[in-house]
Amino acid sequence: MNLFCNITKWGIAMAACAAMAACGSDEPSPTGGEEKGELRLLVSVPDRATRAIGDPGDEPQEADMWDRVSVIATFPGGQEVEREVYIKSFDRADYEQLPPYNGNEKIRVVTMDVSEGYAYIYGVTYNTAVDGNNLEKAIQACTTDAEVRALTIGNDYADGMQYSLPLKLSVATGYYKDADGKQATFNTRKGASTGLPEGELPVVRLTRLASKFDVQWDAADAYAQGYTDVEVTGFEFEGTSAGRLFPALNANSAALTPQTLTFVNDTEISRRNGRVYHYAYPDGVTRPQLHFNISAASADGRKEADYALAFKDAPAQASWYKVNVTIRGLSASGSYTIQLEEN
């Protein structure tokens, strides 16, 4: 086998998230002390992705275009509450009028009227112009915590629309976590211990939902080995037709409907040396595959092979997977599977 691959995973850096380091005990937080039936929290929305790791595949249009944010508090487990799900939504203009945290415009203080009890807290940004605003309709229809964590979003979100990529990237999600990064409930009872330092509020950080799959191939080494007319004629991305808004909470859920997208190389240069990238919403379960169709000629005749590059784990939200493929020839025709290991 003369195909060498490596995969590197990076988290897509968010400027607003870096600023949240100020939420520790080193700086004063807004006063807690919510009134009975009132929840106060900090919500961090993502800024445009930074280029701290020098990604030449980033496009200028990869900017945030969300115009709506919904904050969701749920009270699962049969608690004595008025209802299990509370939702407060803001247009972007209204959200940006909320009090900023320590002058940081990307972090706002949100107040919700809720019951007293132990609440999970979620957040979602999106654009209401997409798909008849069905995402907000789905959010508003939730009546249980199980329905909230099971919310899905089609991987065709914003397809065919102007600015389809930034609209797709406008979807960001997150939920309240403990110090270990695990989902946790927050005690909304007045005067009760919240588990946080005195005066601090719960923080919900939203990060881009879509994962980026960035594939680059180079067949130059194959020519040095005596091969001629080496081509990557196309490849397929085998994933799902939809993702989940909270994929990390669905690791034990059933996989969503599979979907295969085909990318065809129709230029001679890109068949030898090229790059393409694709965005998809993960479902928390499915491990995607990349299928390469490679053709090469040598003294032994022309050979064709299909390589399936299989991800070891389900993709993480807001991660960038850089796959580098070096083609040095084809030892034989056929189909092969290579498991991608993260660097």
CB atoms closer than 10 angstroms to residue 225: 13
Sign of the alpha-carbon dihedral angle for 154, 57, 322, 294:
positive
pLDDT tens-digit series, residues 24-78: 222 323 333 333 568 999 999 987 554 433 454 444 445 579 999 999 999 998 8
Which of the four CATH numbers 3.30.310, 2.170.140, 1.25.40, 2.60.40 does domain 3-7+210-340 have? 2.60.40
Q: Which amino acid is at 23?
A: C
Q: Do domains 3-7+210-340 and 14-26+37-208 have the same CATH topology?
A: yes
> Do β-strands 319-327 and 211-218 pair in parallel, antiparallel, or remain unpaired?
parallel
pLDDT of residue 148: 98
3-state secondary structure the chain: CCEEEEEEEEECCEHHHHHHHHHCCCCCCCCCCCCCCEEEEEEECCCCECCCCCCCCCCCCCCCCCCEEEEEEECCCCCCCCCCEEEEEEEHHHHCCCCEECCEEEEEEEEEECCCCEEEEEEEEECCCHHHHHHHHHHHCCCCHHHHHCCEEECCCCCCCCCHHHHHHCCEEEECECCCCCECCEECCCCCCCCCCCCCCCEEECEECCEEEEEEEECHHHHHCCCEEEEEEEEEEEEECEEECCHHHHCCCCCCCEEEEEEECCCHHHHHEEEEEEEECCCCCCCCEEEEEEEEEECCEEEEEEEEEEECCCCCCCEEEEEEEEECCCCCCEEEEEEECEC
Could you give the CA distance from residue 100 to residue 109 in angstroms, rounded to a whole number?
6
Could you give the CA distance from residue 7 to residue 94 in angstroms, rounded to a whole number?
41
Contacts of 242 (CB under 8 A, 6+ apart): 152, 153, 154, 155, 256, 257, 281, 283
pLDDT of residue 32: 36
pLDDT of residue 53: 38
Contacts of 333 (CB under 8 A, 6+ apart): 303, 304, 305
pLDDT tens-digit series, residues 312-332: 899 999 999 998 888 877 766
Domain 14-26+37-208 has CATH 3.40.50.2300: no
Could you give the CA distance from residue 153 to residue 244 in angstroms, rounded to a whole number?
6
Could you give the CA distance from residue 71 to residue 204 in angstroms, rounded to a whole number?
9
**Segments making up each domain of the chain, as ranges:** 3-7+210-340, 14-26+37-208
In the chain (343 residues long), the average pLDDT of successive 10-residue segments reads 67 38 30 56 78 44 80 94 96 95 90 94 96 91 98 95 92 96 91 69 95 87 80 87 98 96 71 84 95 83 85 92 83 64 62
